[in-house]
Amino acid sequence: MPDESKSRRSRWMVAALVILPAWLVISAGFGVWKYYQDSKKEEIIEPSKFATPISPDRISDDMRKLVEIVGPRNVGSEEGANGLTRAASMIQGSLGPGNAGYRVELEGGPETPNGQWPVIMATLPGGSAQPLWVIAGYDTLGGGVEANSSGLASVLAVARAVAGEKPRRPVKFAFLPHAYDTDGPVLPLLDRFTRKLGKPDLVLVVEAMGAKGELMISSRDAEALARPSFEAHGAIVGAEAVCLEDDFDLASTLFELNQPAIRVATRRVVREGEADEVLPDAAKHAASTRALAELVMELAR
C-alpha cells in the first residue's frame, strides 16, 4: 500500500512538472499575443490621419477666419469680447477630438467686466523629460494681424502637423486670452499661468510670423537661448533689436517672472498704434511655420 501511494505521488509530480512549464509557455504566449493586439488597437486609435501638413492654403484660410470672421479680440468692447469667445471656440475645435485629436484642457482666466476667457492647452504626449511649452496669445493689439493672428495661426498649424509624433519630451501648446490687449488683465493672467508652468526647461512665445519665411529668435535669457537648435533654425538677434524702446512684450514679461522664455517671430514687436491690418503672404507664412515645427520637434527630441 505504501508503494502504491508513493507511486500516485510520483505520477502527480510528473504531471505537475509537465503541466506547469506548458502553462507558463501558453500564458507567456498569450501575453505576447495580447501585447501586439493592444499595440495594433493603439495604432488604430492614434491614426496619422489626425496630422495635417502645413500648407499655404490652410494657413491662409485660418488667417482669413481670424481676421475677417473672428475679428478684433479684446476686453474693451462687446465686439472684442465676442471675438475672444469665437477665437477660443476656433482653437478648441481645430485641436479637439473631431480634428487634430488632442484632449483640450481649459484653465479659467481672470474675470473682466465683459467676460472671462480660458487659457487653452493641448499636450502632445512624450517621455518623462521636462515639457517644452509653446505659447501664443489669442487676443489682439490694434489691427491684430501680426499681434497676434499670425502667431496663433502658426501654433495651431504646428500642433496639427505634429499630432502623430512621439517626442522624447511632452510638448504643451498653450493659448492665452490676454497677451496683447493693453486693457486686458495681462499680469493677473500670467501670475496664474506661471503657477501652471512651474519650472519649465523652455518656453517658446510665438508671434508675428507673417513677415518672412525665416525665423527671428530672441530672448533676455541668454542661458535658455544658448542651444545649437536655435542657431540651426533661425537668426538669433538681441532682444533690444526686436523690442525697441518698449519692453512690454510677452516673452520679456515672462522673463521678468523668472521663466526661460524665447521669442520666436519673423519681425520685431508690433508697437501700439502701428498699422497691422494687411494679411501676410501665405507662402512666406507657411515657410516660417514649417521652420517653427522643425524647431519644436528638434527641441522635443
pLDDT tens track for 35-92: 445 544 444 444 333 799 999 999 999 999 999 999 999 999 999 999 999 999 999 9
Residue 213: partners with Cβ closer than 8 Å, 6 or more residues away = 266, 283, 284, 287, 288, 291
The residues facing 203 across adjacent strands are: 133, 261
Q: Are residues 32 and 138 in the same domain?
A: no
223 and 296 inside one domain: yes
Domain of 36 in residue numbering reads as 1-45
Which residues have CB under 8 Å from 66's CB, separation 6+? Answer: 87, 90, 144, 149, 152, 153
Contact 101, 162 (CB under 8 A): no
Number of other CB atoms surrounding residue 113 within 10 Å: 7
- Tell me, yes or no, whether 17 and 98 share the same domain: no
Confidence of residue 215 (pLDDT cuts 50, 70, 90): very high
Residue 10 sits in the same domain as residue 112: no
Residues 122, 247: one domain?
yes
Dig out the grid coordinates for 19 from the structure. Answer: 503541466
CB 239 within 8 Å of CB 218: yes
| CATH code of the domain containing 162 | 3.40.630.10
Same domain, 20 and 106: no
What pLDDT does 247 receive?
A: 60
40 and 59 share a domain? Answer: no
Q: Give me the residue label for grid cell 497677451.
A: 179
Same domain, 167 and 120: yes
Same domain, 167 and 19: no
Does residue 251 share a domain with residue 236?
yes
pLDDT tens readout for residues 178-196:
999 988 999 999 999 998 8
Q: Are residues 258 and 165 in the same domain?
A: yes
Q: pTM score, two decimals? A: 0.83
The domain total for the chain is 2
- 167 and 62 in one domain? yes
